[in-house]
Amino acid sequence: MNRKQYKKYCVSGEIYQEDFTKKRGYCLVKEGIIKELGVGEPPIEPVVTGTIIPMFVNSHTHLGDSIIDFEVSRIEKDELSLKELVGPGGIKHKRLEGASDREILKNIIDSLVKGERSGTGFFSDFREGGFRGSNTLKLASQKTNIPVKIMGRPKEVNIKNIESLLEVADGIGVSSVCDYTKREVDIFKKASVDLGIELAVHAGENKINQKNCLKESGKSEIKESIELDPNYIVHATNPLEGDLQSIYDKDIPVVICPRSNRITGAGMPPLIQMLELGIEVGIGTDNAMLCNPSVLEECRFIYKTFKNKLGKDGAVEIVKSATIGSGDIIGFDVRIKEGHRANMIVIEEKNKGILKMLAGEEKISTICRGQDVILNV
Ligand SMILES: [Zn+2]
């Protein structure tokens, strides 16, 4: 890896610019900002040539988990249930409660840096631990200069706690409507409306919560969650009859995390049905103790799993969802566009660069982050 700073530089090749339209040409960056997207001969010698895409956006993580050194095979072998692992009072929460803020901070920073080095430049994180938990994540984002949307969670649900949480968090990340009383869920909804804040919620990850909710309230967990009017839903891996249609009707994006779903035995999200219905799909990597924060690895897994059912442009569609699509969902516009900050990835292969990258045959060669150009990633 070789990091250099340039006041002015140029990259050239096939550029997926604006709304992911591929054009052959060059991109001139001055003082970290894209000054010119052009065709024909580049005005200066390009630092690198290849297929150029925006940096990946990780639209769902739990980076606080980075601290947990966990043997993933224990889950795969059914030695532990999802609830025992990540549920209230489970292994994850106990470990996090026993850790110092400094220890958690160091591990979050390591995860952010690891993500950035693999081409993931932006994150949205469901952060536990109330005000302190969100504050630690904010510090990690400031120290690394890597943008993170902090979806915090109050320890006790009341408006006062939510207001104080929002001094450091950007919104609320609800673990599941099943984890809260009806009164608490109403407080979340009221806060999101009255304070005009973003709210996202895990829903439909597993069949148990879906069915328990249905038994108690007559509505699935996904339908109950839709009533919160969230900015997006995370997972929707196990929708019941009509759930996906309701998500589409309410125009709610879904962030999928298939590697995590596979490890926890939740199943695979119905990606093809979601896309056929026209649901906006983002991509996340979920718990850092289960999956590393590289969206490229998540995309490779998605491609491998769904390639036979996706159309011929499947690889490009996945990468579009993982870059500008995820960015639109969590509020970071990462389009390669004149006037935008440079946040770009270069794959050395010019033809079929994206396809080869997802097939694991081609690596990212360069990352352009403002004035920084990281070669030989
Ligand atoms: Zn999650």
Ligand 1 centroid from CA 135, angstroms? 19
Residue 361 three-state SS: coil
Q: How far is the CA of 107 from the centre of ligand 1 (A)?
A: 18
pLDDT score recorded for residue 313: 92
pLDDT at 174: 97
CATH of 56-330, one of 3.30.300.130, 3.90.1150.10, 3.30.590.10, 3.20.20.140: 3.20.20.140
Please give the pLDDT value at position 213: 92
Cα-to-centroid distance, 168 and ligand 1 (Å) = 20
Distance 147 CA to ligand 1 centre (A): 19
Chain segment 196-230, per-residue pLDDT in tens: 999 999 999 999 999 999 999 999 999 999 999 99
- Ligand 1 centroid from CA 126, angstroms: 7
Sheet holding 343-347, edge to edge: 2-5, 372-375, 364-369, 343-347, 48-54, 8-17, 21-30, 33-38
- Rounded to two decimals, the pTM is 0.95
pLDDT of 66: 86
Question: Which residues, in sequence order, are bridge partners of residue 4?
Answer: 373
Q: Where are the domains of the chain?
A: 2-55+334-375, 56-330
Report pLDDT digits (tens) over 14-59. 999 999 999 999 999 999 999 999 998 999 999 999 999 999 999 9
| Ligand 1 centroid – CA 222 distance (Å) | 15
Distance from the alpha carbon of residue 286 to the mean position of ligand 1, in angstroms: 5
14 Cα: distance to centroid of ligand 1 (angstroms): 35
Give the pLDDT confidence score for residue 226 in this predicted structure: 97
Ligand 1 centroid–CA 260 distance in Å is 9
Give the per-residue pLDDT at 343.
Answer: 98
Residues with CB under 5 A from ligand 1 (ion): 286
pLDDT reported for residue 83:
76
Residues 194-222 as b/e (b if ≥16 CB within 10 A, e otherwise) read: eeebbbbbbbbbbeebbeebeeeeebbbb
As its CATH architecture, domain 2-55+334-375 has: Roll (2.30)
Q: Give the integer Cα–Cα distance in Å for 372 and 229.
A: 39
pLDDT means over runs of 10, the chain (377 residues): 93 97 97 96 96 98 86 72 78 84 94 95 95 97 98 96 97 95 96 94 95 93 97 98 98 98 93 97 95 96 96 94 98 98 94 92 95 91
Write down the pLDDT at residue 67: 86
